[in-house]
Amino acid sequence: MDGGGGGDAFGSATAPLAWHDFLERMRQPSAADFVKSIKGFIVTFSNRAPDPEHDSAAVQEFLENMEGAFRAHTPWAGSSEEELESAGEGLEKYVMTKLFNRVFASVPEDVKSDEELFEKMSLLQQFIRPENLDIKPEYQSETSWLLAQKELQKINMYKAPRDKLACILNCCKVINNLLLNASIVSNENPPGADEFLPVLIYVTIKANPPQLHSNLLYIQRYRPQSRLVSEAQYFFTNILSAESFIWNIDGESLSMDERDFQKKMDLARERLLGLSASSENQDNQNNLDVREQKSQTLKASRDSDVNLSLKDNFQGPGLEMRRDSDASSNPVERVQSISDLEKKGAAELLKDDDLNKKIQEYPFLFARSGDLTVADVENLLNSYKQLVLKYVALSQGMGINLENPPVQSMQTVSDLVESEEPKNVKNAVNFSEGSSKTSDDIKNDTLYSEVDNTGTQQLRLTQVIRGTAG
């Protein structure tokens, strides 16, 4: 069986169907002895004391033996390699979901390491800058980094090793696409590990997902080695390297004086402790305020009848006029709408002496549909996604309701609700090395990918110019 292969059964669009297909076959009467064996293993395993090394070996051996039994088992008789691969993935997910609470962070050493790593990244993220990791300016994109962080932070939403691995790979793909597109724009050679790893380290620190150490150990221990190959192996190895680097970060590794580094760490720690203390004080103050407000409300209620009659006797037209005057004397400053900002920017842009030069930097700006090729689809889709994200982020940041939303739904950024499978899981985990991509592969590959600012500027410039012309 090709460990890195597998077909479309666990692709981003068909993964839930494949999972339900596995469960349906397990419900067939002919699978009764199969189900009995699986449940027997789960019960026996759960009754043993935690021992990570022994547990890992036992699970790996059981999964391998059961996958071998699929071929001779009635529910999968005559199945294709793709269906057998899906069955193996379904078995892993079923078993590890049942055993998750028993094997994840099951020993005190893992729990302690999680806490220490989380604390260190919490301190580092307060002062670390891209320059500390020698990340080139052209590889810096807050939008792409934010998406990569969100993908990594989803890792605790899932229990199956494969699903957790998919979150890591989706994060890495966002970074990889950012670097690749930046290199194309600058006409440089494709980026390698020297460019990729520093960005991954920075994104990991900023994301700081809880229990990262235990998540990585969990994948190492319980993801079958036959499937941890090719692209999955490469990106997983990189995040292991990122974790190792973070564990050992000191002043020298961040290109700063060691005393300065320790001072920044101490200040960050004091700030965190101060925020914690402030939070507790704020909670106490809020409770006092609530009690005081209730007391004032009760007092006001008791005096309401008397006050109401007095107000009726003394309140006249003059008082109402003074209130209106007070309100008008403090006008609220109008917040410019996105449309206003675009028109203002367009006017400034048209005054720019280098307008033609700027327009020439964006090859798709005046392209017609007949000028485009299939190879252009991925870049255009990436540019569109980043445009939508920045458009919505801008409006939210300014407190402006979208006047003309570019899309009806933001599926690429509103997917924090847990689903059965992380999106893009097929291409993240089961993409064979050296295989050719179909159009569907391209769509899945770009589900969470982002590009540099060039694509966004192309579409934004189009909107600005059209808005001005209108």
| Closest CA relative to residue 233, chosen from 244, 221, 246, 220 | 220
- Amino acid letter, 363: P
Let me know the angle formed at the C-alpha of 468 by 465 and 470, rounded to the nearest 5 degrees.
110
CA angle 337, 341, 344 (to 5 degrees): 140
Q: Which pLDDT score, from 0 to 100, does residue 370 have?
A: 56
**DSSP secondary structure string for all residues of 350-416:** HH-TTHHHHHHT-TTTT--GGG--HHHHHHHHHHHHHHHHHHHHHHHHHT---SS-S-S--TTTS--
Q: Is residue 309 part of a domain?
A: no
Does 143 share its domain with 79? no
> Which stretches of 208-255 are DSSP H helices?
212-222, 230-247
Together in a domain, 27 and 121? no
Is residue 19 located within the same domain as residue 54?
yes
pLDDT at residue 266, rounded to an integer? 94
Low-confidence ranges of the chain (pLDDT < 50): 1-13, 304-332, 360, 405-419, 425-470
Q: Are 193 and 125 in contact (CB under 8 A)?
A: no
Indicate which CATH number applies to the domain containing 222.
1.20.1050.80
Is residue 322 one of the residues assigned to a domain? no
| Phi-psi domain of 255 (left: phi exceeds 0; alpha: psi -120 through 50; beta: other) | left
Cβ contact 365:458 at 8 Å: yes
Same domain, 344 and 357: yes
Nearest to 19 by CA among 159, 151, 170: 159
Residues 39 and 122 in one domain: no
Range of the domain at 209: 108-260
Structure tokens at 248: 């050992």
- Of 220, 236, 260, the position where a domain reaches its end is 260
Beta carbons of 106 and 180 less than 8 angstroms apart: no
Contacts with 445 (C-beta within 8 Å, 6 or more apart), sequence order = 173, 378, 424, 427, 437
**Residue 284 counted as domain residue:** no
Instruction: Please count the structural domains in the chain.
Output: 3
**Whether residue 114 is found in the same domain as residue 252:** yes
| Whether residues 152 and 192 fall in one domain | yes
CB-based contact 7:441 (threshold 8 Å): no
| Cα–Cα distance, 55 to 66 (Å, whole number) | 17
Q: Do both 248 and 186 map to the same domain?
A: yes
pLDDT at 363 (0 to 100): 56
Asked if residue 220 is part of any domain, the answer here is: yes
Q: Does residue 420 fall inside a structural domain?
A: no
- DSSP E strand stretches across 114-257: none
Let me know whether 98 and 242 are in one domain.
Answer: no
What does the pLDDT read at residue 362? 56
Tell which of 77, 103, 129 closes a domain: 103
Residues 147 and 230 in one domain: yes
pLDDT at 113: 96
- Predicted local confidence at residue 429, as pLDDT: 43
Is there a single domain that holds both residue 86 and residue 213? Answer: no
CA dihedral sign, ordered 93, 99, 102, 106: negative
Is residue 295 assigned to a domain? no
pTM for this entry: 0.60
Indicate the residue among 201, 235, 260 that finishes a domain.
Answer: 260
The predicted structure's pLDDT at residue 158 = 96
**188 falls within a domain:** yes
Q: Is the dihedral of CA 375, 376, 379, 381 positive or negative?
A: negative
pLDDT of residue 348: 65
Query: What torsion do the CA atoms of 205, 208, 211, 215 make, to the nearest 10 degrees?
Result: -70
On whether residue 199 sits in a domain, the answer given is: yes
Torsion angle of C-alpha atoms 245, 251, 252, 256, degrees rounded to 10 = 130
pLDDT score for 282: 58
- Reduce the DSSP state of residue 16 to 3 states and report it: helix
183 and 234 part of one domain: yes
CATH number for the domain that contains residue 32: 1.10.246.120
